[in-house]
Amino acid sequence: MPATAKEHIERMKRLETDRANFDQQFQNCADYVMPQNSQIISERSSGEVLMDLFDTTGEESNIQLASGLYSFMFPTETRAFVLEIDDEKLASQDNVKQWLDQTTKIIHKYLISSTFREAFFEYLKSLGCFGTACLYEEKGKKVVIVFINYFIRDIYIVRNSDGDVDTVYRRFKFSARQFGQEFGVENMGAKIKTAYNDLGTRDKKFEFLHVVQPREDRDADADDALNMPWSSEYISRDESEFINDSEGGYEEFPYQVSVFDKDSLEDYGRSPTMKKLPDIRMANELK
């Protein structure tokens, strides 16, 4: 039986509690290496001055690491990859070679015209700082495909029996106005609707969850969104209910979650920043 909205919210609370120690480490790393993202366990007000950071060696080193990885994986002067097939007999045929070459060009074309470059660079910086990074992809409204690097603070992962991430809980906030633009005024819960109806509170923020996980109960022969292999559900945390008409699905898991280094007993990764944090702190103190 599918989980209720309240069950998802309770599960999210457990995931948040279980990750509390990692969140403290994420905060410490962000303070010195990604200060613009140092809002893991507490949020800053807009324009608030950052902590006293006197040495930027850690931040610069992380950017250099991300730049090196990016240049190695996606060089600007050559193709990042070439499509091939395992069947040697087919691979030797001219029409197959032409198809593979043309498809490789098309994929590169759409990657370049998408948000991939910016998102992937942020993804690599997150990997170097936090040891865990999460890249999301979906069909775009203005471009063919959109890539988004989601901040580690808002992403909670669950691994399956093979150790692969197959479930992601993502926190996000929308104002009542933004909710209406994204999901429709007719799908507002009572609290959000009350805020929306008053111009003075229309920009009040509410918290939501986006849950993507394997769909256990589905008709594999059906091709509609509600029977796709991966379910997509949006939940209002303030209302403790699903957002009407928001349930959907994915043919493939839309999140790419990577870890830099990982202990076999942990779900989240460890980063170069975590390893060098004592030295980074010392350098900052000496300044």
Dihedral, CA atoms, 9, 15, 18, 19, nearest 10 degrees?
-120
What is the distance in angstroms between the CA of the first residue and the CA of the last residue of the chain?
Answer: 58
Helix (H) or strand (E) holding 15: helix 5-18
> Which residue in the block uniquely carries the two structure tokens 């990764």?
269
Spatial separation of the C-alpha atoms in residues 173 and 238, rounded to whole Å: 11
Spatial separation of the C-alpha atoms in residues 19 and 74, rounded to whole Å: 32
Phi and psi at residue 205, in whole multiples of 5°? -90, 145
Mapped onto helix, strand or coil, the DSSP state of residue 213 is strand
pLDDT for position 46: 65
| Triad 266, 268, 274: Cα angle to 5° | 105
What are the residue ranges spanned by the domains of the chain? 5-35+46-286
pLDDT for position 49: 57
Spatial separation of the C-alpha atoms in residues 25 and 271, rounded to whole Å: 10
Phi and psi at residue 106, in whole multiples of 5°? -65, -45
pLDDT for position 237: 97
Nearest to 195 by CA among 210, 182, 205, 183: 205
Mapped onto helix, strand or coil, the DSSP state of residue 241 is strand
Tokens (6 digits) for 43: 């949020």
Q: Which residues contact 48 (CB under 8 A, 6 or more apart)?
A: none
CA 110 remoteness from chain centre: 20
pLDDT for position 259: 98
What are the average pLDDT values for consecutive 10-residue runs of the chain, which has 287 residues? 93 98 96 91 69 88 97 90 94 96 95 94 98 95 92 97 98 97 96 97 98 92 90 97 92 97 96 97 88
Burial (CB < 10 A; 0-12, 13-18, 19+), residue 33, is buried
Pair 152, 131: CB distance under 8 Å: no
Spatial separation of the C-alpha atoms in residues 260 and 124, rounded to whole Å: 10
Nearest to 160 by CA among 271, 260, 270, 253: 253
Q: What's 226's DSSP letter?
A: G
Q: How far is CA 48 from CA 27, 173, 205, in A?
A: 16, 20, 19
pLDDT for position 262: 95
E strands present in 60-100: none
Spatial separation of the C-alpha atoms in residues 267 and 126, rounded to whole Å: 16
